[in-house]
């Protein structure tokens, strides 16, 4: 098919009628939100009062669930699911692949009479037994030792996934080895939430301002993604094999004009977004925002804040639904951090805060943050935690895709720092010096009476900061778009729990029945003075900051192999061990898994690149050489031949070099990862350089790969 005709087909679209449409959402029951979730209201309605009360006590951590209660919950859950068309259930869990996993079992069991009865017991609800050897374990389980368990997480409600041919009941679960060690992202997150709650409740008791019995962390992740026409996707083996394009010349127009960001959403894309949001609403995912992102064909979706565990589960669901629904519109959703070289990559800003069961946000500064002892205490704890464990935070967001983003002028740098803003920094300086400049919240007048006066924030935001305070929360901006939220938030919770306890112990020594604010001020003054080097309100992209950060002693871990050793550093092992989040063995298993994944993914990329270059790009260039041979011996044609000949020689030599580099180097672990970074990546770049230049000179109808100018702009 001629290439221009392919573009015409890719540009065609008509509504499939599957989107939300326009119902009257003011009518009772018209909103689909939560209709496919076995949430608290459904549980209250369907469970006997004593069972619901017992389940509530379990959710509150007051008691473990007894078998009779589990049986009653399982029966109610099964009946609810079957009424909605479910024939199967699955323990839905999150292994160390970064994805979700599921094994489907039928509700129905055969009888002696040749019929089948639906059955689902509390035992089946509480525990499943997948093959633990088939998932990454980092040495915790030998290959021949297969037993592992999934354990029901009652704090994250069960939900239904709909399919055109049926419905599936999904039960969020933890995944643990036969030896009781965590093999997933959920267990350390739940453990870290418990640890932070205990530390924060202790601190609140000292502060005497909030009678909270429980503190929970909240997250809200801003998911960025690309959409490309599925025709182009399936014509590029690099995309469907690795998630990113390994070849592609920069288009003449990218996002230089900035007209894409917050621009009008194309009709096809908006229809897709509406249906994806409808599906997510049914699953109880509270989507709030959608918009065009910086790059052409790049978009963002963001929820309202939720409990960290539920929010992490919902984020995994969001990625799955985005990918599933895209196919109904002839699109493919790309979640790789850098699917297109030279084009803005995709991240996932992780908004994080702490709240009490009495409704208090512990990171709300109020009108006068310099006089807010509770806020100053908890904010200082976060500053202390981030400075002490900056390398671990960087490691928590490290993967092969991230190495294309972190440090570039589109994402936070690989240096972890905190943006506080002028008002908060002044508040801390007031504590230290007793002085400071009063920060005022003014008004913006827009020069015409037709427009209202706007309340003016005390300071501007900083889009270059990797860890920014944004009003009543911190925004950890360095996560990659494909990442699970589990480990980064487990890290945040654990290191902040440790810092809260350090500050609380110091506070205990200064209280002695005296003025709480004065005692907090003394602690804050000391901790701020020891840790303020992590605070930077300037341009994180500038070379000057890199030099300044080095003078401050901040870590600059540019690549994944640089960062990952922090996962098993002495300070990490101590913090995670002291708070029961992950043992040293569990931490080492993750280090081994992530190191291996880095090298393996690069090996796949390198092999894919060599194959495409040898079997697609090189033949196209050779056919173009035949066209030039038919063009005569004129000076201009000779010049074209010389240009092509030089690129062909360069490409052929680079292909052979890449194939040799990507052989077995006889290395393992971190050494293998470093080899892939230092040897194989440069070899891949050496193949790509002449290939991308060939794209600009080989006849258009001969070029075998859809181009950036097509994939990014035909919607």
Q: What is the pLDDT of residues 67-93, one digit of tens each?
A: 899 999 999 999 999 999 999 999 999
pLDDT of residue 139: 84
Average pLDDT over residues 144-171: 92
Angle between helix 516-531 and 373-388 (nearest 10): 20
436: left (phi over 0), alpha (psi -120 to 50) or beta: left
Length of the chain equals: 715
Q: Domains plus CATH for the chain? A: 32-184 (3.10.20.70), 597-711 (1.20.120.1560)
| Confidence at residue 687, expressed as pLDDT on a 0 to 100 scale | 98
Calculate mean pLDDT across residues 254-280.
Answer: 88
Measured CA distances, 203 to 217, 361, 391 (Å): 15, 14, 26
Per-residue pLDDT, 20: 54
Cβ atoms of residues 527 and 432 within 8 Å = no
Answer yes or no: is pLDDT of 262 > 80: yes
Tokens of 505: 């112990």
Question: Six-digit token pair at 495?
Answer: 């290191």
Q: How confident is the model at residue 261 (pLDDT cuts 50, 70, 90)?
A: confident
pLDDT for res 114: 63
Q: What are the backbone angles phi and psi of residue 485, rounded to the nearest 5°?
A: -80, -10
pLDDT of residue 142: 72
Which residue, among 711, 707, 96, 98, has the nearest Cα to 402 in the 3D structure?
98
Largest Cα separation within the chain, whole Å, is 97
Lowest mean pLDDT: which of 258-272, 406-420, 562-576? 406-420
Q: Could you tell me the two tokens for 10?
A: 């890719």
d(CA 533, CA 115): 71
Neighbours of 435 (CB within 10 A): 8
What's the pLDDT tens digit per position in 315-353? Answer: 999 999 999 999 999 999 999 999 999 999 999 999 999
Decide if 94 contacts 485 (C-beta within 8 A): no
Give the whole-number percent of the chain exceeding pLDDT 90. Answer: 73
Average pLDDT, the chain: 91
pLDDT at 379: 96
Task: Tell me which residue has tokens 């300044």.
Answer: 548
Please give the model's pTM, rounded to 2 decimal places: 0.94
Residue 685 neighbours by CB under 8 Å, 6+ apart? none
Per-residue pLDDT at 526 exceeds 90: yes
Q: What is the pLDDT of residue 439?
A: 54
Angle between the N-to-C axes of helices 486-511 and 373-388, in degrees from 0 to 180, rounded to the nearest 10: 120
The answer to whether residue 680 scores a pLDDT higher than 70 is yes
pLDDT of residue 334: 98
């Amino acid at each position: 098919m001629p290439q221009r005709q392919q573009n015409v087909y890719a540009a065609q679209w008509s509504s499939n009628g599957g989107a939300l449409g326009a119902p009257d959402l003011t009518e009772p029951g018209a909103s689909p939100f939560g209709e496919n979730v076995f949430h608290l209201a459904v549980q209250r309605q369907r469970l006997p009062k004593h069972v619901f009360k017992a389940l509530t006590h379990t959710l509150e951590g007051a008691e473990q669930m007894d078998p009779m209660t589990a049986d009653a919950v399982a029966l109610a859950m099964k009946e609810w699911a079957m009424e909605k068309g479910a024939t199967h259930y699955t323990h839905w869990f999150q292994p160390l692949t970064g994805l979700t996993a599921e094994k489907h079992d039928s509700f129905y069991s055969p009888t002696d009479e040749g019929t089948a009865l639906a059955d689902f017991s509390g035992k089946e609800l509480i525990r499943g037994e997948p093959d633990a050897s088939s998932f990454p374990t980092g040495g915790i389980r030998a290959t021949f030792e297969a037993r592992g368990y999934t354990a029901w997480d009652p704090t994250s409600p069960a939900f239904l996934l709909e399919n055109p041919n049926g419905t599936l009941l999904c039960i969020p679960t933890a995944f643990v080895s036969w030896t009781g060690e965590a093999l997933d992202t959920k267990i350390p997150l739940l453990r870290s939430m418990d640890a932070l709650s205990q530390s924060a409740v202790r601190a609140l008791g000292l502060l005497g301002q909030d009678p909270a019995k429980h503190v929970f962390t909240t997250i809200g992740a801003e998911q960025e993604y690309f959409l490309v026409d599925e025709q182009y996707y399936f014509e590029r083996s690099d995309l469907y094999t690795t998630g990113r394009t390994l070849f592609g010349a920069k288009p003449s127009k990218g996002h230089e004009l900035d007209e894409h960001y917050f621009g009008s959403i194309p009709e096809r894309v908006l229809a897709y977004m509406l249906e994806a949001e409808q599906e997510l609403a049914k699953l109880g995912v509270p989507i709030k925002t959608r918009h065009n992102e910086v790059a052409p064909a790049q978009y963002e979706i963001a929820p309202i804040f939720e409990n960290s565990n539920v929010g992490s589960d919902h984020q995994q669901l969001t990625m799955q639904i985005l990918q599933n629904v895209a196919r109904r519109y002839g699109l493919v959703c790309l979640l790789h951090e850098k699917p297109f070289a030279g084009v803005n990559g995709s991240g996932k800003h992780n908004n994080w805060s702490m709240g009490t069961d009495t409704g208090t946000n512990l990171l709300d500064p109020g009108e006068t943050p310099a006089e807010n002892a509770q806020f100053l205490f908890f904010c200082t704890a976060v500053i202390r935690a981030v400075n002490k464990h900056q390398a671990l935070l960087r490691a928590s967001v490290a993967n092969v895709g991230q190495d294309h983003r972190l440090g570039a002028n589109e994402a936070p740098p690989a240096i972890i720092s905190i943006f506080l803003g002028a008002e908060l920094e002044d508040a801390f300086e007031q504590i230290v010096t007793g002085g400071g400049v009063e920060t005022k919240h003014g008004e913006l007048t827009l020069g015409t009476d037709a427009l209202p006066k706007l309340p003016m924030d005390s300071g501007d935001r900083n889009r270059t900061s990797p860890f920014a305070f944004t009003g009543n929360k911190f925004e950890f901006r360095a996560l990659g778009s494909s990442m699970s939220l589990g480990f980064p938030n487990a890290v945040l919770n654990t290191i902040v729990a440790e810092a809260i306890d350090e500050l609380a112990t110091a506070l205990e020594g200064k209280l002695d029945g005296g003025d709480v604010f004065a005692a907090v001020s003394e602690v804050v003054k000391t901790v701020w003075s020891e840790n303020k080097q992590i605070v930077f309100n300037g341009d994180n992209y500038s070379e000057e900051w890199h030099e300044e950060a080095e003078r401050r002693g901040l870590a600059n871990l540019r690549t994944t192999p640089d960062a990952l050793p922090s996962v098993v550093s002495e300070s990490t092992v101590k913090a995670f061990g002291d708070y029961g989040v992950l043992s040293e063995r569990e931490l080492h298993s993750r280090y081994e898994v992530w190191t291996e994944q880095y090298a393996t993914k690069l090996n796949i990329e390198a092999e894919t690149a060599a194959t495409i270059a040898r079997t697609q790009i090189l033949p196209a260039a050779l056919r173009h050489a035949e066209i030039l041979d038919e063009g005569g011996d004129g000076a201009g044609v000779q010049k074209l031949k010389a240009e092509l000949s030089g690129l062909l020689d360069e490409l052929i030599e680079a292909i052979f070099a890449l194939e040799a580099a990507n052989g077995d180097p006889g290395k393992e672990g971190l050494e293998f990862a470093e080899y892939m970074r230092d040897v194989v990546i440069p070899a891949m770049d050496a193949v790509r350089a002449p290939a991308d230049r060939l794209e600009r000179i080989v006849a258009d109808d001969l070029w075998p790969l859809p181009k950036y100018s097509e994939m990014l702009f035909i919607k």
